[in-house]
Amino acid sequence: MSNFQIGLGGGCHWCTEAVFQSLKGVTLVVQGYISSIKKNNSFSEAVIVSYNPEIISLRDLIDIHLHTHNSTSDHSFREKYRSAVYYFEEKQKPVIETYINELNEDFENEVITQILKLDKFDLSKSELLNYYKKNPEKPFCKRYVHPKLNLLRKKYIEKTNL
């Protein structure tokens, strides 16, 4: 079966990249900046995840995404760190809406994650790619990435390569 793709944004793309690189069935994670259309046409940090749906489902990816960034917080950096699931094809949108609505029950506050059409993607500079894999002991990684990976180990261990 061929790979499927989805865009995910929420927090720093170094964190998001590390989280999704740790999952079984994810074949590629590319970090950079994604823009959508209309009022969401500014670039925001995000990743494009290629995955094998026979190993990991889109629902699992969205579930993990919502739990590994502040998906219920509308903080002042939301333009740079837009909480979003970016679809490639229009037929993905209602499926994503259903999953987010179902998963919203897991949270005390309402999920604010937007469902947006992916319009443009700009790859990060090469020295920033695979940031966690190259720098796991850097202070940033210890402070921000390690807790997310620990959450994966606790809540989603069967889905991870950790």
- Enumerate the active-site residues: 12
Strands 44-51 and 4-9: antiparallel
DSSP label at 53?
T
DSSP label at 144?
I
Q: Locate all alpha helices (DSSP H) within the chain, ordered by sequence.
A: 13-21, 58-67, 92-103, 131-134, 139-140, 146-155
**How many angstroms separate the CA atoms of 6 and 88, rounded?**
7
**How many angstroms separate the CA atoms of 41 and 34, rounded?**
9
Q: Report the interhelical angle of 58-67 vs 92-103 (nearest 10°).
A: 50
